[in-house]
A and B are shown apart, each in its own frame.
Chain A
Amino acid sequence: MDCTNKIHVVYDDGLLGLNGQDYQYLFSYEKGGLESMRFNGKEWLYRPLYPTYWRATTDNDRGNGFNFKSAQWLGADLAPKCINIDLTVDDRHFDQLPIAPLTNQFSNHEFAKQVKIEFTYETATNPAAQVKVAYAIDASGKCRIAAHYLGQAGLPELPVFGVRLIMPTLATEFEYDGLSGETYPDRMAGGVKGTWHVDGVPVTPYLTPQEMGMHMQSSRLKIVRNQTQNNADHDERPFALTVKQTDQPFNFSLLPYTASELENATHIEELPLKRRTVLVVAGAVRGVGGIDSWGADVEEQYHLPADRDYQFSFEIEPATIE
């Protein structure tokens, strides 16, 4: 049967569904992004995947006024706005997005070998910048995600540029190929290359919660969970997802909190109970600096000017548990 090695495409009125034997992707036109990513019946997204621009202010950021200078990016991070969706199924490019009533032409027997969908976002900055997040899903269920920030003059420097995936439940462990410990572009010489295993989703206990947990130059990340929010799912066996490098290594942090949750807390105990897993895959990370904490900037080469393009990509696929 042809359909077993093809994607079952459901052209619904507000959603595009991509279904395979052990995967399911739902792209929401209303929410402007990937709403669901399900492998072997296990949901991996709590909220849609969106670009991220903000890192929780570090003590150095506060000291040198970077949080003030770049405050626009906090708003942009909190308020994504999708302005365009572009769909290509196999060789067919949709000049007009197939929403109702165009959807009436389809059936429950639509299949494809590859689907590409690209969301364009406008940032809540003045001037606005544009960001594209493009997905390419093949029949195996593997998904390649590419993000592209289009440089815009007149904007403050970026704290970070990446995408954020919020998972419904807390991961139990993760493992990655990359550098030991917490690394940043200007603090990674001491990172030792290897495969690193981390139990749970730890928070680095900085006195004031702030940007933390970045892992630079990673080639593979496996995230393991054993719980879902599905009331009918009584299976407690662990399940996992893998993030893989495409052309370049990626940077990531895996934390129980978003940047704005960290930003709001003055102490660790003020953070909410750990209940979700927040994966940020970042293409560009600003350095942390450290010459002093009352004015000295991060060294020039570790800044992220906003008038420059930033692009990165990675792959996601279900992982097996040994």
Chain B
Amino acid sequence: MQADLKWLDDPQTFRVNQLPAHSDHQWYLDYAEADQQSSSFTQSLDGQWRFAFAKDPQNRIKEFYAPDYDVSKWDLIKVPSMIELNGYAQNQYTNIWYPWAGKIYRRPAYALSPDDLQAGSFSQGTDNTNGSYVKHFDLNESLRGKKVRVRFEGVERAMYVWLNGHFIGYAEDSFTPSEFDLTPYLKDTDNILAVRVYKHSTASYLEDQDMFRFSGIFRSVKLLGQPKLHLEDLDLKPRVTDDFKTGIFNVDLKLQGQDGQVLIKVFDAQGNLIVDESKAAAERVGVHDIKVKDAHLWDNHHPYLYQLFVELRDQGGQLLEVVPYRFGFRRVEINADHVVLLNGQRLIINGVNRHEWNCRTGRCVTMADMEQDMATFKENNINAVRTCHYSDQIPWYYMCDQDGIYMMAENNLETHATWQKMGQDEPSFNVPGSIPQWREVVVDRARTNYETFKNHTAILFWSLGNESYAGDNLVAMQEFYKDHDDSRLVHYEGVVHTPAYRDRISDFESWMYLPPKKVEEYLQNNPDKPFIECEYMHDMGNSDGGMGSYIELIDKYPQYVGGFIWDFIDQALLVHDEISGQDVMRYGGDFDDRHSDNEFSGDGLMFADRTPKPAMQEVRYYYGLHK
């Protein structure tokens, strides 16, 4: 198969040769590796790559992926990083309007009529900057002879991959892992991995989040080898009995490879072995309905986790792979009075929305950033996070499990400018809407989000995305989650604009920034869904005044769940100012970027350098009232 530039224009082509999404577990050769969290099956490709920039697709470096193409004179770029922050393309911050607004007239394919393909919209887009990346690598000894995939953990926004001159695949969905099997073309040494990243494709319509508009390989790239028997997917479904005393352990495994043996062991936090099962390896292996008496339930105060190990052994009993995973027993539900319960108790969300942000590296954030954010949550009684409006880096989900932070795990989806114009609802070319050609791409985003993160205890709610209006395609996303997961609730806010879909989308009544009095009106009038503020207290500049009026609702109305403050951290970039000689914070519009929404990128409880704004003490106080 050959790569086709036209895929950029086609909403129905969003993954080509990509491996199916699967659980985010890590696999190791043995327990010693698992202990060190250092897998000999993993080889990092982070670091310096060769790089060439092109201002549009017509100027792309053709055939650069050919093995004899000389890239030795190319620039070097750090992977992961954003192309813009390396100075190749202009920084731009825009909230609702697409970045091309006023420069290129575009409408989404099929949005105005079923035969309107909008051919060439992005493949010939004069704004479609792109980067060609090349990495030479030798395979680590430990990966040789194995089936090996490459995993891109985050690439904005459309990516073509070649290995040793062969086309490997194509991916969109910037914020979830994209994996491709490299095995057929892989050599032990002197491999050439070539990636072309386009800033725009039809995915740009789906990624209209209120943020700086960047591109590039901005999360890690890894090679992952697998042993002859490998756990491809882990699906834990821990349950809790009605009396909240007993945990019920369920696990379904998808295996790849040869025959062998599967051992499933679960230890409690004290190290007692409480599940010990052995099965013959098969494509699908399951263990169901094992009772765990006097189970410790997981919540924010006691994020008690059990330790699972899946051991894969060959028929001789030799250990081939070990997969550790920690999970908790907890139960989230809505009772007959429309009150959200966690483990039978009323759940109160003292939450924040959190963009991944670093003022030096943009959306390329480090473990240290995440750890600092988690410490800030703890210090300020923040018990919940909405991953706005995309999937976060994988480690963040593990940290939330461990620290008891409730997650609203949101899909990578926002199409704000396709339905809201100058403050008015005007969905004349809304996507995904009910347009058949836009259905699979959004359901795929739901699927990938679900499959990747389904085992995380911290996730109590799935969220279909942000500010994308509503139509049959949002219903299809909702149905995907409901069909695959009856242990969590589904949230979507945008349905408030389309009451006709209210019964088919969202377990919550959610209306961002609804003033306290309006929220109260809803709560006083026989609420048939619990109310959650998926965004409230817009913390732009000197703000967060009047928070008490929301917190009072918690005591008055059991159907009020609480909410997520907008948002956690300012999006600003640290730049050296020649005039003052200082390193200073810059925001939208400071890079000659037009259209820009200027300082609207700074709505955080934290300044962009991760120091708290003065308002944080108010959050700590109010969130401390219902800890």
Residue B602 lies at the interface, judged by CB distance under 8 Å to chain A = yes
Residue A90 lies at the interface, judged by CB distance under 8 Å to chain B = no
Residue B150 lies at the interface, judged by CB distance under 8 Å to chain A = no
User: Once the chains bind, are B607 and A208 in contact (CB under 8 Å)?
Assistant: no
User: Once the chains bind, are B549 and A288 in contact (CB under 8 Å)?
Assistant: no
Which residues from A are CB-within-8-Å of B543?
58-60, 288-290, 293
Which residues from A are CB-within-8-Å of B541?
58-60, 206-208, 210, 293
Given contacts A184-B545, A186-B545, A186-B546, whether A290 and B617 have CB atoms under 8 Å apart is: no
Q: Mark B578-589, 1 if CB is under 8 A from A, else 0.
A: 011010111100
B617: contacting residue among A185, A192, A204, A268, CB under 8 A:
A192
A182 vs B513: C-alpha distance when bound (angstroms): 24
Which residues from B are CB-within-8-Å of A269?
577, 579-580, 582, 584
Which residues from B are CB-within-8-Å of A296?
513, 515
CB-based nearest A residue for B571: A207
Q: Mark B445-472, 1 if CB is under 8 A from A, else 0.
A: 0000000000000000000000000000
Which residues from B are CB-within-8-Å of A188?
618
Most chain B Cβ neighbours within 10 Å, of A187, A212, A269: A187
Given contacts A181-B617, A189-B618, A293-B538, whether A288 and B544 have CB atoms under 8 Å apart is: yes
A210 vs B543: C-alpha distance when bound (angstroms): 11
User: Once the chains bind, are B545 and A292 in contact (CB under 8 Å)?
Assistant: no
Residue A287 lies at the interface, judged by CB distance under 8 Å to chain B = yes
A211: contacting residue among B542, B580, B600, B607, CB under 8 A:
B542
Residue A267 lies at the interface, judged by CB distance under 8 Å to chain B = yes
A181 vs B380: C-alpha distance when bound (angstroms): 15
User: Once the chains bind, are A293 and B600 in contact (CB under 8 Å)?
Assistant: yes
A290 vs B587: C-alpha distance when bound (angstroms): 20
Contact residues, A275-322 vs B (CB, 8 A): 287-294, 296, 298-299, 302
A192 vs B614: C-alpha distance when bound (angstroms): 13
B539: contacting residue among A212, A268, A290, A294, CB under 8 A:
A290
User: Once the chains bind, are A190 and B617 in contact (CB under 8 Å)?
Assistant: yes
CB-based nearest A residue for B550: A291
User: Once the chains bind, are A207 and B602 in contact (CB under 8 Å)?
Assistant: yes
CB-based nearest A residue for B518: A291
User: Once the chains bind, are B513 and A291 in contact (CB under 8 Å)?
Assistant: yes
Residue B52 lies at the interface, judged by CB distance under 8 Å to chain A = no
B603: contacting residue among A189, A192, A293, CB under 8 A:
A293
Residue A88 lies at the interface, judged by CB distance under 8 Å to chain B = no
Residue A205 lies at the interface, judged by CB distance under 8 Å to chain B = yes
Binds A, one of B166-174, B363-371, B619-627: B619-627
Residue A21 lies at the interface, judged by CB distance under 8 Å to chain B = no
User: Once the chains bind, are B599 and A299 in contact (CB under 8 Å)?
Assistant: no
User: Once the chains bind, are B542 and A207 in contact (CB under 8 Å)?
Assistant: no
CB-based nearest A residue for B551: A189
User: Once the chains bind, are B546 and A291 in contact (CB under 8 Å)?
Assistant: yes
Residue B405 lies at the interface, judged by CB distance under 8 Å to chain A = no
User: Once the chains bind, are B546 and A302 in contact (CB under 8 Å)?
Assistant: yes
User: Once the chains bind, are A291 and B540 in contact (CB under 8 Å)?
Assistant: no
User: Once the chains bind, are B621 and A189 in contact (CB under 8 Å)?
Assistant: yes
A183 vs B614: C-alpha distance when bound (angstroms): 8
User: Once the chains bind, are B540 and A293 in contact (CB under 8 Å)?
Assistant: yes
CB-based nearest B residue for A208: B599
Which residues from A are CB-within-8-Å of B544?
187, 288, 290
Which residues from A are CB-within-8-Å of B572?
207
User: Once the chains bind, are B545 and A289 in contact (CB under 8 Å)?
Assistant: yes
B618: contacting residue among A59, A190, A212, A292, CB under 8 A:
A190
Which residues from A are CB-within-8-Å of B548?
186, 189
Which residues from A are CB-within-8-Å of B547?
187, 189, 290
Which residues from B are CB-within-8-Å of A60?
538, 540-543, 545
Contact residues, B546-588 vs A (CB, 8 A): 546-549, 570, 572, 577, 579-580, 582, 584-587
Contact residues, A238-268 vs B (CB, 8 A): 266-268
Which residues from A are CB-within-8-Å of B490?
none
Which residues from A are CB-within-8-Å of B516?
291
A289 vs B579: C-alpha distance when bound (angstroms): 34
Which residues from B are CB-within-8-Å of A267?
584-586, 590
Residue A191 lies at the interface, judged by CB distance under 8 Å to chain B = yes
Most chain B Cβ neighbours within 10 Å, of A188, A208, A291, A298: A291
Given contacts A268-B584, A296-B515, whether A291 and B538 have CB atoms under 8 Å apart is: yes
Contact residues, A149-201 vs B (CB, 8 A): 180-192
Which residues from B are CB-within-8-Å of A183?
614
Contact residues, A112-137 vs B (CB, 8 A): none
User: Once the chains bind, are B515 and A291 in contact (CB under 8 Å)?
Assistant: yes
A120 vs B577: C-alpha distance when bound (angstroms): 46
**B537: min CB distance to chain A, Å:** 5
CB-based nearest B residue for A209: B541
User: Once the chains bind, are A190 and B622 in contact (CB under 8 Å)?
Assistant: yes
**A143: min CB distance to chain B, Å:** 31
A212 vs B543: C-alpha distance when bound (angstroms): 10
Which residues from B are CB-within-8-Å of A298?
545-546
**A282: min CB distance to chain B, Å:** 15
Contact residues, B579-617 vs A (CB, 8 A): 579-580, 582, 584-587, 590, 599-603, 607-608, 613-615, 617
A290 vs B618: C-alpha distance when bound (angstroms): 12
CB-based nearest B residue for A299: B546
Which residues from B are CB-within-8-Å of A211?
542
A288 vs B539: C-alpha distance when bound (angstroms): 11
Residue B51 lies at the interface, judged by CB distance under 8 Å to chain A = no
Which residues from B are CB-within-8-Å of A184?
542, 545
CB-based nearest B residue for A187: B545
User: Once the chains bind, are B546 and A287 in contact (CB under 8 Å)?
Assistant: yes
User: Once the chains bind, are A210 and B542 in contact (CB under 8 Å)?
Assistant: yes
Which residues from B are CB-within-8-Å of A189?
547-548, 618, 621-622
A185 vs B547: C-alpha distance when bound (angstroms): 11
Which residues from B are CB-within-8-Å of A266?
599
User: Once the chains bind, are B536 and A291 in contact (CB under 8 Å)?
Assistant: yes
**B350: min CB distance to chain A, Å:** 13
**B368: min CB distance to chain A, Å:** 21
Which residues from B are CB-within-8-Å of A182?
542, 614-615
B599: contacting residue among A186, A207, A291, CB under 8 A:
A207
Which residues from A are CB-within-8-Å of B587?
207-208
A58 vs B537: C-alpha distance when bound (angstroms): 15
Which residues from A are CB-within-8-Å of B539?
290
A191 vs B541: C-alpha distance when bound (angstroms): 18
**A292: min CB distance to chain B, Å:** 4
**B549: min CB distance to chain A, Å:** 7
A267 vs B549: C-alpha distance when bound (angstroms): 32
**B521: min CB distance to chain A, Å:** 15
Which residues from A are CB-within-8-Å of B537?
290-291
A182 vs B540: C-alpha distance when bound (angstroms): 15
Q: Mark B317-341, 1 if CB is under 8 A from A, else 0.
A: 0000000000000000000000000
CB-based nearest B residue for A206: B541
A290 vs B535: C-alpha distance when bound (angstroms): 12
A189 vs B552: C-alpha distance when bound (angstroms): 13
A296 vs B536: C-alpha distance when bound (angstroms): 12
A289: contacting residue among B546, B582, B585, B590, CB under 8 A:
B546
**B578: min CB distance to chain A, Å:** 11
A290 vs B544: C-alpha distance when bound (angstroms): 5
B542: contacting residue among A63, A180, A204, A302, CB under 8 A:
A204
**A267: min CB distance to chain B, Å:** 6
Which residues from A are CB-within-8-Å of B620?
190
Given contacts A207-B587, A291-B513, whether A59 and B577 have CB atoms under 8 Å apart is: no
User: Once the chains bind, are A288 and B542 in contact (CB under 8 Å)?
Assistant: yes
- What residues of chain A have their CB less than 8 Å away from a CB belonging to chain B? 58-60, 63, 180-192, 204-208, 210-212, 266-269, 287-294, 296, 298-299, 302
Name 9 interchain pairs, CB-CB below 8 A, sorted by A: A58-B542, A204-B614, A207-B570, A207-B572, A208-B587, A287-B546, A289-B543, A290-B546, A293-B543
- What residues of chain B have their CB less than 8 Å away from a CB belonging to chain A? 423, 513, 515-516, 536-549, 570, 572, 577, 579-580, 582, 584-587, 590, 599-603, 607-608, 613-615, 617-622
Which 5 pairs between the two chains have the least Cβ-Cβ distance?
A: A190-B621, A182-B614, A186-B545, A59-B541, A207-B602
